[in-house]
Chain A
């Protein structure tokens, strides 16, 4: 998929099979894209007798270049569901499940013509009110009924079981690494001792960060890159967003905006203040990153063992260490507040 000399012809042939009504198909440009760590990405301009399209191909890299193992079939099925529920995300168009047409298992989606949020923000674009739009964007997919989601997405049996497994993922991640990780074990113990009030499980994006957000002309957030989606606690997406925003500002959930965000989300999703408040978002800042941290550490471990030669795997260890430097002081500040909330919840019940 990263062979610009070969791919235009392959793509044109693939599209001819998918769209038998199209004639004179021509791929007028094919451009390898950067911006994702884990997938092969390319943008293609396609022209045929009846129109033009700009498409994005998302495919699996070769086995020794895979940083994060995710399933294109699941991503394809999920994006179709998101499209059906009018979630703002580029439409799913085509799927090559065996790579026979495109050279690797890949899906094709529409190219987004919205603005990338990060460059917009870095150029000084207005952030006013965007914390509310962020709440709208999150609720738009968090509220999709679980029964409508692809059958392949695992359904946890309960919130308690889910959160226990999630916390334990810190321990399992530490155990599986090539060296012992005491900070991970500390985080597991701390998270276990400060569990928040439960909420209904929902679809989670899994990589909900500014780099995966586009801003439409009417000021709404469009979301990209669903490969890490799963079913879990929706507050993990908020915590994850905040965690990444510490490295890649702006933080739309900072001390000033987070309360307004929480109020909007509670109103739309029907949560209570004990279930969602800035302290709980901060709790999930830590818990919500475990899946990505695990995948990054797996990449680093494979690099150390010599079974993965992707330099980004070594580079990404910087992100893990940076994360640790955020989590540790956060537990100092947050612990007493979460203890007070737990006492209030106990009193209320």
Chain B
């Protein structure tokens, strides 16, 4: 299997061509809006292709360490299996948060929130600089 250029590189290349070559040729405002949205999503997909599986595993390790719950492993490294497993990891974290709030345990809430902050930081690496294309 040829792995280079990587999926990340190819997706960034498509996004660049759409932005630099296709978009200037487009007159329709609606199509320009769509191209702007596609550009942002493609760049996010590139980052996901490069890092998503690793980030999911790293987060799962942290969830397991802080909640004390053994979260196991995905059935395989195929994306559908990884995403399904990530859902179970997320449920462990959600359950721990619900319990901490119900107990009024602010220290525990603060510990668990560090996991959410880390998750959000990865999400923003994917999103990049958000532009609400098509509004206003």
Contacts and interface: CB of A to CB of B under 8 A. Distances in A.
B37 A312 contact: yes
A312 to B, nearest CB: 6
Contacts of A35: 134-136
A271 interface: no
Contacts of A129: none
A32 B30 CA distance: 9
Contact of A189 (B37, B101, B127): B101
Interface stretch (A8-16, A143-151, A258-266, A317-325): A317-325
B94 A311 contact: no
A6 to B, nearest CB: 17
Contacts of A192: 101
B83 interface: yes
**Residues of B in contact with A, size category:** 35 or more
B40 A315 contact: yes
A315 B132 CA distance: 9
A337 interface: no
Contact of B34 (A180, A311, A328): A311
A119 B135 CA distance: 11
A179 interface: yes
A318 B136 contact: no
Contacts, number: 103
A26 to B, nearest CB: 25
Given A182-B116, A318-B44, A211 B135 contact: yes
A321 B41 CA distance: 13
A318 B97 contact: no
Contacts of B91: 180
Given A189-B109, A314-B41, A324-B123, A182 B93 contact: yes
Contacts of A329: 117
Contacts of A216: none
B44 to A, nearest CB: 7
Contacts of A183: 116, 119-120
24 contacts: A37-B134, A118-B136, A179-B87, A180-B90, A181-B90, A181-B94, A182-B93, A182-B116, A182-B119, A186-B109, A189-B100, A189-B101, A190-B101, A312-B37, A312-B134, A315-B38, A318-B41, A321-B120, A321-B126, A322-B124, A324-B120, A325-B123, A325-B124, A331-B113
Interface of A: 32, 34-35, 37, 116, 118-119, 174, 179-183, 185-186, 189-190, 192-193, 210-211, 247-248, 311-312, 314-315, 318-319, 321-322, 324-325, 328-329, 331
